[in-house]
Amino acid sequence: MSLSTTATLLQAEPPIKLQNFGRATLADFFGDMVIYRNLEPLEKKLAGLKSAGYRMGLSSDIVPRKFEPDYAKAALWIAEEAQRLRRVTAPLREVLFVGDTLLNDGQAYLNLAKLSGWRGTCFIGADRPEQAPAAEIDEQNLLYSANRWSAVGDWMQWVGEQGFKLDEHTLLIVDIDKTALGAKGRNDSVINRARLEGLYRTMDAVLGGAFDQTAFEQHYNALNRARYHNLTADNQDYLAYICLALNIGLIRFEELVLEIDSDSLHNFEQFIRWVESRMMSQAGVTEAFRQVHEAVRASVRIGDATPFKQFRREEFVSTVSHMGQLADDASVDEILAEEIALTEEICQLSECLKKRGSLLLCLSDKPFEASCPTRQLAANFLPVHRMSTHRIGISIADKLRFLQ
C-alpha cells in the first residue's frame, strides 16, 4: 500500500507510567458483535457468510481474508444488518477503524471505505517507547499511524476537527489481537507465547516423545518469513502442519528449501500431496499423524483457511489461560508479562462512542477455533471475548472530553 503521508511529531511528553484500570471483558463494550475469520457473527441474530454469502454479493464459498475486497463486502453487509438489528433508523455514514497492521487492517479499512462510500478514518497503533512520540497522517485517506497507543486520544481530537459526527451514524470497527487485546509493542508477546504453547501441546499430542522441539523452533522461525509466503500463505495453520511433517521426518528441511528455491513447490496444496506420497512409500507413520493429515487435507479441499483444528483448539486453551489469572494487586509489569490484557485506550474510546450511539464491531482475522470453545471445552472455558482480564494503559479521558 502506498501512502501519501505527512510526518507529525506529537507534543513532547514525559514518560507516562502505564496503569491498571481494573478488569473488563470485550463483551462489556461489544457484546456479541464479534466476527472472526469465518465471517460468522457471534451475535446469533445476525446471519453470516454461510447463509447469506449470496446476499453479501460474494460469488465464491471461499472465506476471504481481511485485506481482500470481498471481505469488505461481507463486513459492510453485516454492519448494515447490525444497525437494523439494534433498531436504529439512521443509516451508517461514517466508519472508524482501529488496528495494528497497515497491510492487513489498513487495507481492510481502505476497501470498506471505498465500497461503502462512507466517510472514514483509520488508526494504526503500536507502542514504540524507544522512539520519540510521533504520528504519520495520510491526509488523502485519513489514515493515522502512531507509535503510542495513547495517541488514540490525539487521533480522536483530530477526527473531531475533520468534522466527523461520531454518533448513531458512525461505525467503530476494532481489531482484537494486538489491538483491543495484547496491544502491539506493549503486551503482544503473551499472545505469541500462547500460540506457541498451543503448538507445542499439539506436537506433544501427535508425536509424543518423538517431538524434537529444538528442530521445530528452527524450522518454524526459518519458514515464518515473507520469503516462504507462496508456500505458507502467511497462514499459521499451514506453517504448523509443515513443521509437523518436517519433525516427523517425512520430508527434510533441506529438500523442502531446495524444492522452493528451484521453483518446484508453489503452494500448500502441493505440499500436502508431497506428504501423502511420502506416507505411502515410508513405513512407521503414526495413526495420530494420519488423522491430522486427513483432517487438514479435507479442510483444505473445501477451502477452509483454518485446516489444523487440533492446533487451534490448543491455542484457544492457552490463550484463555493467560487472561485475568493474576491477582488484582499484581504489578503492571507482571500483568504485561503474564496476561493478555485489554488495551485501556481502546476501552475508553469504545465506551465513549457507545454512549454516543455508535455501532461497535470487533472484526478479527483470528480463527474462530482459536477464540471460542468447542462443546466439550465450554463446560470449563468462556469464549475469549467474555474472559475477564485486566485493563492496562494510559487514560485518554481528557482528550475524549469533547465528545461528552
Number of domains the chain is built from: 2
Residues 123, 200, single domain; the answer is no
Which residues are within 8 A (CB) of 388 and not within 5 positions of it... i.e. 6 or more apart? 23, 24, 25, 323, 324
Residue pLDDT, tens place only, 121-167: 999 999 999 999 999 999 999 999 999 999 999 999 999 999 999 99
Structural domain includes residue 86: yes
Residue 270 burial (CB count, 10 A): 13
Q: Which amino acid does the sequence have at 383?
A: P
The count of C-alpha atoms lying within 13 angstroms of the C-alpha of 235, restricted to the half-sphere facing its C-beta, is 22
Q: How far apart are CA 107 and CA 3, in angstroms?
A: 11
- Number of CB atoms found within 10 A of residue 382's CB: 16
In a domain, residue 295? The reply is yes
What are the pLDDT tens digits along the chain (404 aa)?
444 556 555 554 556 799 999 999 999 999 999 999 999 999 999 999 999 999 999 988 789 989 999 999 999 999 999 999 999 989 999 999 999 999 899 999 999 999 999 999 999 999 999 999 999 999 999 999 999 999 999 999 999 999 999 999 999 999 999 999 999 999 999 999 999 999 999 999 999 999 999 999 999 999 999 899 999 998 999 999 999 999 999 999 999 999 999 999 999 999 999 999 999 888 778 899 999 999 999 999 988 889 999 999 999 999 999 999 999 999 999 999 999 999 999 999 999 999 999 999 999 999 999 999 999 999 999 999 999 999 999 999 999 999 98
Per-residue cell: 174? 476494532
Q: Is 87 left (phi over 0), alpha (psi -120 to 50) or beta?
A: left
List the domain range (segments joined by +) for residue 74.
Answer: 5-186+341-403
d(CA 237, CA 286): 20
Q: Which of 212, 199, 198, 304 is nearest to 253 (CA)?
A: 212
pTM: 0.92
Domain boundary among 278, 302, 317: 317
213 and 237 housed in the same domain? yes
Q: What are the pLDDT digits (tens) for 380-395?
A: 999 999 999 999 999 9
Cα–Cα dist 224/240, whole Å: 10
Q: What is the CA radius of gyration of the chain?
A: 22
* Strand ranges of the sheet holding 389-393, from the earlier edge strand across to the other edge: 19-24, 389-393, 342-343
Last residue of one domain, picked from the residues 285, 317, 349? 317
Other C-beta atoms lying within 10 Å of the C-beta of residue 60: 9
Q: Which helix (H) or strand (E) holds 96?
A: strand 94-99
The reply to whether 152 and 268 lie within a common domain is no
